[in-house]
A = this chain, B = another copy of it.
Amino acid sequence: MELPEKLLKVVKQFSRLPGVGEKTALRQTLIMTKWNKEDLVAFAEAVKNLSELNHCSKCGMYCDDQLCKICLDYHRVNAKTICVVESVTDCLAIERSGNFRGKFHILFGVLNPLLGIGPDELKLDTLINRVSNEEIEELILAVNPSVEGDATCAYIKQSLPSHINVDRIGFGIPMGGSLEFVDSLTITKALENRRHL
């Protein structure tokens, strides 16, 4: 049957989200028709305000004002380590692991000549400035393993003064993973990265 336009518009908007099909979108919309006006306005306002979200002027993370909560954290202000990631979600994944207490720097992509993404499209110049301004001693490149990621890491390494310690995160068998089900490239990497006990 044909539903009213006002309902269909919301269903269409929800369907644009990842993991939401038309059926789920309709279910969610029908639940929302039972909300009162204030709740609907609050939802709408929250979504609209997303467009005013800022990027931290230092690391590139999302923030309400000028600097993000990580860059403002007084335990980290004097950290000498920057973890370089491709995206906001990668930064969040590392924060969730809870073991890194240094600063972050988000590149917003990796070098990809085929797609026309060169060094100027990434936040590489600000990274190099930060390394000298904030007296950084160590860089951890938490860039995902791919040809483009490898190239980006090589570019960063050669752009920095040689006294800066540049590491890349380890690759190998994931925790809880089974050799039987892991692809051969990962196994090759895991063999390369073996550690003496």
A interface residues (Cβ-Cβ under 8 A, vs B): 1-7, 9-10, 12-13, 17-20, 24, 26-33, 35-37, 40-54, 62-64, 68-70, 88-89, 92, 95-96
CB distance from A92 to the nearest CB of B (A): 7
The residue from B13, B48, B53 contacting A7, defined by CB atoms under 8 A apart: B53
The reply to whether A46 and B4 form a contact with Cβ atoms under 8 Å apart is no
Could you pull out 13 A-B pairs where Cβ atoms are within 8 angstroms? Answer: A1-B96, A3-B69, A4-B63, A6-B62, A13-B43, A13-B47, A18-B27, A18-B28, A18-B31, A30-B88, A33-B88, A37-B51, A41-B48
The residue from B45, B53, B96 contacting A44, defined by CB atoms under 8 A apart: B45
Residues of B within 8 A of A30 (CB): 88-89, 92
Given contacts A4-B64, A6-B64, A17-B28, contact A47 B44 (CB under 8 A): yes
Residues of B within 8 A of A46 (CB): 6, 9-10, 12-13
A26 to B95, CA, bound (A): 14
**Closest B residue to A87 using CB positions:** B30
The reply to whether B4 and A53 form a contact with Cβ atoms under 8 Å apart is yes
